[in-house]
Structures are given as C-alpha cells and as structure tokens.
Structure 1
Amino acid sequence: MDFNKLSGRLIIYCLALILFSFRTNAQNTKSESTIPQWPILYVNYSIADKSLFTGGLEFCLDCKDKNKLFLGAGYGITNSYNGNYYGLPDVHLSYNTEYLLFVKAGSSSKNAYAVGGLTVFNMIDLGLGYSFPYNKEKIPTYEGFTASISFRFTKNKGAYTKLNIIQ
C-alpha cells in the first residue's frame, strides 16, 4: 500500500470521527454515553532506538467516570535513517486511573507498542514500555524499550482528573 494513500486515509478517518462526534452530541443530548464535544489535542514524544514525535486528536470515551478511557489517532515523525524523516500514522487506546497511573496500547503502520506509567491529572503522561516492529527488514523500524511523555490540551474539563484536597 502506498504510504501517501495510507496517511490520506488516516486524515479522512480523523475528520469523519470529529464530524460524527459533533453530530452525535447534537442529536443525543439526553444520552449518557456520547462522545465529548471537544476533542483533545495531544502531543507525544517517544524515544526507543530512534526518536518519534507524534501529534493528533483523542476522544474521552468515558469522561463521567473517575477512570478515563481515551481513544486517539495521530501522525508521528521519526528521523530513522540517513537523516531522512519518516511519517507514521498512529492509533491508540489509553486507560488512565484516578490513582495517577495509566496504560496505553497502540499501533502504527510499522509497529505496535504498550506503555504504562504515571499520569499527572490526565494532562501529562510519563511512561515506559516496549515497541514491537511488524517487519524488521523494512525501514523505518521503531523497536525496543520506550520512554515517552504526552501532553493533552482540551476545553473539556471532564477529561482531566480533579484535585481533591482533604479539609
């Protein structure tokens, strides 16, 4: 499959997901399980054998609960080989607990990964994990133990964990 077609399809799917979320909210105002009105913009930096900078959109699938479930799609850039930059579409699912812990599993066109670690009010995720390449022969490969940091920006205050101070 041509890489440009794959990245174009990812953009179309992201736009369709955004439009569907606005339409669902407009029609289902009484439903308790709607996709939030405001998508979350996320930025992620990961380093394994190469560095990877990813940005995209996330949706909080369960913002009313104290434990949050995020579904995200984005696009990453890596400087893998010979000074060339390569793009990798990314899809992930992240489960963040109220106890400042998270676990995330995701996939791109070249690898699958699992990351776990600490979250700071669901605004910042600091994680360690492992990335598995689908095919070690084709470039770019992104494999090995992974350290990552993610930032979330949104107007949807339900996506963030509230600070409870005991009085």
Structure 2
Amino acid sequence: MKKYFAVAFLISVITINAQLLEKTAITVAYRYTGRNVLQTGLEFRIGNTHGKSIILGPSLLYSHINHADKFIPEAHIYLSDQGKLFGLSSNPYSIEPRIGITLFNIIFLNTGYAFPIHKEKYFKGVTFGIQFNIAPKHAQFYDPIKIM
C-alpha cells in the first residue's frame, strides 16, 4: 500500500513541476542604478495569459564596486496589465519601486527610483533598465500576439 502512495506522490510532484516550468522564464537584463549592473534570474508568472498577471522571482546582480566584483541577491515582483508594468525590487542595499512597459512579456523596459537602505549606498537615485525574458518553446509565460 505504501508503494501506491509513493507512486501517486511522485506523479503529483512531476505534474506540479511541469506546470511550474510552463510559466517560468530565465531573465537577462542591464540596469543603471547609479552604476552599471548586469542581472540574471528567474521569473514566474501567476495568472492568465490575457490581461493582468503577477510576475515574481529572484535574481542576481553583478556590478564592479570599489575595485571588486560584487554579486548581490535581489527579489522582485511585477504586476503586468496589458502592456503596463508596475513593480518593486529589493536587495540588501536598496528598495526600488518601478514602472514600465512590456512587449508581450518578452521585453521589459522600466524605470524607477532606488532608495538606499544600507550605510553603503551602492544603489541610489533614478534607475532604468531593459530585461529580456527567455522561456521554453511552448511556455505560457509570453502574452499571445493578436493578429487582426
């Protein structure tokens, strides 16, 4: 009897993982936050592919600070609503509200303001960035293109 429960549990875990991968994308981005920053991470989309959805995920920032390479973790959340983008990101050095536009959830163009929260103010002031989302071939991460 235990074998049947183990097999059922294994099948449910595989199914859940498959659904997670359908709404996940890898991101590559450039941002200017008072300094040049390269960013890579994951995005997970919650919601339908038409209209509003929430996009959240972790990422890793890379920048050259004080003659040393620095890798900084970041978490972010976006609300995507038919081409409009509203978001918030947080890392150990700043909190950054963002607004922007999205092109079918493939490209994000955003701007914001980084509020420093650490005594070392690596990130501060007006920010802007461009982000490319790379999803698997049959993923449900991208918005469908409507052709009239």
Give the TM-score category using the shorter length: 0.7 to 0.9
1:154 maps onto 2:135 in alignment:
yes
CA distance in 1, matches of 2:122, 2:139: 37
Are the aligned partners of 1:25 and 1:36 in contact in 2 as well (CA < 8 Å)?
Answer: no
Normalising to structure 2: TM-score of the pair? Answer: 0.80
Could you say if the C-alpha distance between residues 27 and 111 of structure 1 is closer, same or farther in structure 2, counting changes exceeding 3 Å? closer
| 2:77 paired residue number | 93
Structure ranking higher in strand proportion: 2
Structure 2 unaligned regions, length at least 5: 1-10
Q: SS of the residue aligned with 1:122?
A: coil
Q: 2:125 is matched with which residue: 141, 144, 149?
A: 144
Are the aligned partners of 2:35 and 2:123 in contact in 1 as well (CA < 8 Å)?
Answer: yes
Which structure has the higher relative contact order (CA within 8 Å, separation 6+)? 2
CA distance in 2, matches of 1:25, 1:149: 34
Q: Which runs of 4+ in 1 moved over 3 A?
A: 22-25
1:132 maps onto 2:121 in alignment:
no
Q: 1:75 is matched with which residue: 39, 60, 63?
A: 60
AA at the equivalent of 1:90:
E
Q: What root-mean-square deviation, in Å, do the aligned CA atoms of Structure 1 and Structure 2 show?
A: 2.3
Are the aligned partners of 2:49 and 2:144 in contact in 1 as well (CA < 8 Å)?
Answer: no
The count of corresponding residues between Structure 1 and Structure 2 is 136
CA distance in 2, matches of 1:87, 1:110: 12
Normalising to structure 1: TM-score of the pair? Answer: 0.72
| 1:112 paired residue number | 95
* Higher Cα radius of gyration: 2
Could you say if the C-alpha distance between residues 84 and 159 of structure 1 is closer, same or farther in structure 2, counting changes exceeding 3 Å? same
Report deviation, 1:52. Answer: 1.2
Report deviation, 1:68. Answer: 2.3
Report deviation, 1:115. Answer: 1.2
Seq. identity, %: 21
